[in-house]
Amino acid sequence: MARIVMKFGGTSVADIARIRNVARHVKREVDAGHEVAVVVSAMAGKTNELVGWAREASPMHDAREYDAVVASGEQVTAGLLAITLQNMGVHARSWQGWQIPIKTDNAHGAARILDIDGAFLIKRFGEGQVAVIAGFQGIGPDNRIATLGRGGSDTSAVAIAAAVKADRCDIYTDVDGVYTTDPRIEPKARRLAKISFEEMLEMASLGAKVLQVRSVELAMVHRVRTFVRSSFDDPDAPGMGDLLNPPGTLICDEEEIVEQQVVTGIAYAKDEAQISLRRVGDRPGVAAGIFGPLAEANINVDMIVQNISEDGKLTDMTFTVPSGDVDKALAVLERLKASIGYDVVQSEAGMSKVSVIGIGMRSHAGVAATAFKALADRSINIRAITTSEIKISILIDGPYTELAVRTLHSVYGLDKQ
């Protein structure tokens, strides 16, 4: 017998027929004798509808009331799934985030989980009950419902799995695992059997949409073995109930991966913008004076490149932000011009960031050189480069995104292994 947390995304519970299919997945694990908790998202499209209603009611709405509205989608799904499970003879009960309770901070709309007491759910396990939990939400210090931001149900599921010390957390979605790159761009992309927490964190933060970044962070911190699986697979197909290695991709400790590839995957993010400050005063505190105010304005700065000044007086500084934040960033920089002392600011949207990721890069030389040569052979110009132990990110012009992804996927042999 094992303890399992199962999470189902919006497309998996889009209508009653799919909710019945989800219930079959849950019943399979219950019939195998496992202790099961389920976390659900809102039905596909429902959250967008609720957000639209809130904005229509008032463009400048109260964040606490916004959370009260948008959290209702998951509550409906939880109730419908509990009803369906009961009809199948499974002892199930729906619970909202505040009933567990899932305690969060006070950042309504983008709250972070602070604590979950697993005792409530462990008691439910002892009673033979399947707890069906509304994801994406908890309760803040103000005793109000607080939502966790888009993709927050993934975070709910991993946090609950950590709290109850689950043997594994299964994230059911509309894809059957994590791939070497986006199969819509590269048909030769392969599903990975295993990927390390570190690699998955890089993949998620660099553009892969399979899992929310914070859910991967939590899984890595608490060492929660996490499977990415497809809810559209036949619940009763052979191997679906395999306790240790069900179909899908396992996200786990690096030590569990015996054969470590040099490169595991290629991620990409479109709609990046490049901002350059020309002839900035080269003195201590200038970088803090630029990026501090940008952070306070909630502008996510990514790649940063600073040229070395020849005379020790003036330098150029280039960085990237999401294209949607360009105008806001330029407004912040304009206010800073007198204190920072730059000459001119230039911006260009329509950039893309393509990233090469792999834990094997720690012990292999020449990975970056291979990428640069492959892109050069395709006449793809590199605007900026950043690296870490297990990642190389390259900024290029947006129209070359798909060509760059396919080129790098091929040059590292990801389409052949």
DSSP string, 2-51: -EEEEEE-GGGGSSHHHHHHHHHHHHHHHHTT-EEEEEE-PPTTHHHHHH
pLDDT of 353 strictly over 90? yes
Residue intervals of the chain classified under CATH 3.30.2130.10 are: 265-411
The architecture in CATH of the region 3-254 reads: 3-Layer(aba) Sandwich (3.40)
Cα–Cα–Cα angle for 187, 192, 197, nearest 5°?
A: 130
User: When comparing pLDDT for 314 and 145, which is higher?
Assistant: 145
pLDDT-wise least confident of 19-28, 198-207, 304-313, 323-332: 304-313
Give the β-pairing of 265-281 and 344-357. Answer: antiparallel
pLDDT of 242 strictly over 70? yes
Tell me the mean pLDDT in the region 76-82. Answer: 98
Confidence (pLDDT) at 116: 96
Model pLDDT for residues 163-209, shown as the tens digit of each residue: 999 999 999 998 899 999 999 999 999 999 999 999 999 998 887 77
Confidence (pLDDT) at 309: 67
pLDDT of 383 strictly over 80? yes
Tell me the mean pLDDT in the region 393-398. Answer: 95
Question: In the beta sheet, which residues pair with residue 351?
Answer: 272, 397
How far is the C-alpha of 191 from the C-alpha of 150, rounded, in Å?
25
pLDDT of 5 strictly over 90? yes
pLDDT of 310 strictly over 80? no
Residue intervals of the chain classified under CATH 3.40.1160.10 are: 3-254
Tell me the mean pLDDT in the region 213-230. Answer: 94
Question: What confidence tier does 148 reach under pLDDT thresholds 50, 70, 90?
Answer: very high
Q: CA-based Rg of the chain, rounded to a whole angstrom?
A: 23
| Average pLDDT value over all residues in the chain | 92
User: Which pTM does this prediction carry?
Assistant: 0.87
Tell me the mean pLDDT in the region 295-322. Answer: 84
Confidence (pLDDT) at 266: 96
306: Cα separation from own chain's centroid: 29
How far is the C-alpha of 268 from the C-alpha of 372, rounded, in Å?
16
Question: What confidence tier does 417 reach under pLDDT thresholds 50, 70, 90?
Answer: low
Question: What confidence tier does 312 reach under pLDDT thresholds 50, 70, 90?
Answer: low
pLDDT-wise least confident of 7-16, 110-119, 228-237, 302-311: 302-311
Confidence (pLDDT) at 37: 98
User: When comparing pLDDT for 116 and 208, which is higher?
Assistant: 116
Class of domain 265-411: alpha beta
DSSP label at 362? G
Give the β-pairing of 391-397 and 384-388. Answer: antiparallel
The secondary element (H helix, E strand) that includes residue 6 is strand 3-8
Confidence (pLDDT) at 30: 97
How far is the C-alpha of 78 from the C-alpha of 165, rounded, in Å?
22
The phi and psi torsions of 319 (rounded to 5 degrees) equal -150, 170
- Pair of tokens at residue 367: 């990975």
Give the β-pairing of 226-230 and 168-173. Answer: parallel
